[in-house]
A = this chain, B = another copy of it.
Amino acid sequence: MARINDNYLKLKAGYLFPEIGRRVASFNQANPEGAQRLIRCGIGDVTEALPPACREAMHRAVDELGDRATFKGYGPEQGYAFLRDAIAKHDYTDRGVDVGADEIFVSDGSKCDTGNILDIFGPGNRIAITDPVYPVYVDTNVMIGNTGGADDSGAYAGLLYMPCTPENGFVPAIPTERADLIYLCYPNNPTGATATFSQLRDWVAYARSNDAIILYDAAYDAYIVEEGVPRSIFEIEGARECAIEFRSFSKTAGFTGVRCAYTVVPRNLKGRTADGTEQLIHPLWARRQTTKFNGVSYIVQKGAEAVFSPSGQSQVAALVEHYLGNAKLLREACQQRGLAVYGGINAPYIWVACPSGLGSWEFFDRMLQEINVVITPGAGFGAAGEGYFRISAFNSRDNAKEVCRRIVEELRL
């Protein structure tokens, strides 16, 4: 009798974005006219053309595969040295951050990595997550049995939720209780907040004093434009003893459909076995990846490498500048309507309080029906997201401007 993983039955409803997809599809069917002018600012998905440097590199890679002399079969599961070296140099050592190429594991996405990382951690870990939060952190913990069931607000028993509010600048206070694995994401999805050096220092100190590990999601680091904002947890002294970092080419270089990301596991990072013995984490992740993964497409890795070329760097900078330009306009439009607005300065997301005490799915439906704009309801990111919505700045400038116009002229508040 094949037994299923009963933890899956604890999962509430659909994963957020499929649920949004269902509501939009049903709206489109019922309102052909509204569907015509629908603008999507929901899922955080890039919209602009892939940088030419990446495309050129991928064309060359495809051609290489057409000649047996340069054909590539299975590559190293952790990624080709050309890409790991480029990442270590450009994203870390050139910025004075101590991360070696051997500590970088190239993958096909941060969603995979932040989910799969739990494979190497055992039962009995107390999980701390921010609220609101990227739903994947929560759902993958439910799936693996780190939680009990959900209550009516969608909160799962056993998780240590850390509310992020305007009062704490969307960076949670250090818990008064023990946590073993702590999910932090800055620039934050969904709130667009960033953490300060001082805040991250406090987190590193907390993690080290608890033998805890911080799972640091820096998928949006490229959007940090202000001085003095940390881009990597490894800019904090001591973080190499207590953190794993996830990064992605998705939002940096427009790779959401191309698929490439990476995870940094410091070579001396340790966890403990059931009997308390210290155990290096790096070989566990290496074993996980070599056993359950076969590396990222060679073509894609060549495309990712090109991000670090001089032309790639300037093309990527232009992309980021474009999206942040949208974010600025969207912030201003919401502010003009008197809404409380957060994020959108060092991040492609704007986090807005719903007007007149509306619930966030309620406001989602209103934005959809009334001004035909898809946003993401804050409640989809956790109980503390209720009463907020997220606008994504990933769009054309024309679309962003039109959304602003509709917010200013058409939205009834």
Contact = CB atoms under 8 A, between A and B. Distances in A.
Interface string A257-298: 111000000000001111010010100100110111111111
A86 interface: no
A7 B73 CA distance: 31
A68 B43 contact: no
Given A2-B272, A6-B122, A274-B3, A291 B15 contact: yes
Given A1-B210, A259-B295, A297-B300, 19 more contacts: A1-B276, A2-B211, A2-B271, A4-B279, A4-B281, A5-B121, A5-B284, A6-B274, A8-B287, A47-B73, A49-B66, A52-B66, A65-B257, A73-B257, A116-B292, A140-B292, A143-B292, A259-B297, A297-B299
Contacts of A6: 122, 273-274
B272 A4 contact: yes
Interface string A47-81: 11110100100110011011110011111000000
A310 interface: no
A62 B52 CA distance: 10
Interface in A198-255: 210-213, 254
A1 B62 contact: no
The 10 closest A-B pairs by CB, nearest first: A115-B292, A45-B73, A72-B257, A4-B271, A73-B256, A1-B211, A50-B65, A2-B213, A2-B271, A257-B298
A180 interface: yes
Given A121-B4, A258-B299, A271-B2, A108 B111 contact: no
Given A59-B62, A257-B73, A258-B297, A143 B291 contact: yes
A1 B73 contact: no
B122 A4 contact: yes
Interface in A82-141: 108-109, 111-112, 115-116, 119-125, 136, 139-140
Contacts of A52: 66
A262 to B, nearest CB: 14
Nearest to A50: B65
A9 interface: yes
Contacts of A123: 3
A387 to B, nearest CB: 25
A213 B2 CA distance: 6
Contacts of A143: 119, 288, 291-292
Contacts of A291: 15, 115, 136, 139-140, 143
Given A5-B120, A65-B55, A111 B50 contact: no
A396 interface: yes
Contacts of A298: 257-258
21 contacts: A2-B213, A3-B273, A4-B273, A4-B284, A6-B274, A47-B71, A50-B62, A50-B71, A55-B65, A55-B66, A73-B254, A74-B256, A109-B294, A111-B292, A111-B294, A119-B143, A139-B291, A140-B291, A257-B297, A258-B299, A297-B299
